[in-house]
Amino acid sequence: MLIYVRLLNEGTEVLRPGETVEVRAGVFKILAPDGYESSDEEWELPPGSEVRVESRTSHEKTYLMAIRA
C-alpha cells in the first residue's frame, strides 16, 4: 500500500511516498525504496518502522499519512 511519510529538516513540509506491507490488522511496515540512503533523507518514520495510517486531505486530494503505531 502506498503511504506518505514526513521528511525532517527540509525547511518546509515535505512528504515522501513509500510502500508498506501489512504486518497485522491496521499496522504496516514501511519498506525501504530502491537506493535508500538514510544520510540523504531524514524520514520521521524510517523504513522498517511499524506504523498506522491516517487519511488526510490537501488541495482536494486524499492520501494516507504514516503515523506512529
Q: What is the pLDDT of residues 40-61, one digit of tens each?
A: 999 999 999 999 999 999 999 9
- Domain housing 15: 2-68
* Residue found by looking up cell 508498506 in the block: 20
* Residue found by looking up cell 506491507 in the block: 21
Contact 27/52 with Cβ under 8 angstroms?
yes
Task: Please give the Cα distance from 26 to 18 (Å, whole number).
Answer: 16
Q: What is the pLDDT of residues 8-19, one digit of tens each?
A: 999 999 999 999
The C-alpha torsion from 52 through 20 and 40 to 58, rounded to 10°, is: -60
Residue 65 has pLDDT above 90, yes or no: yes
For the chain, what is the domain count?
A: 1
Q: How confident is the model at residue 69 (pLDDT cuts 50, 70, 90)?
A: confident
Mean pLDDT of the chain: 95
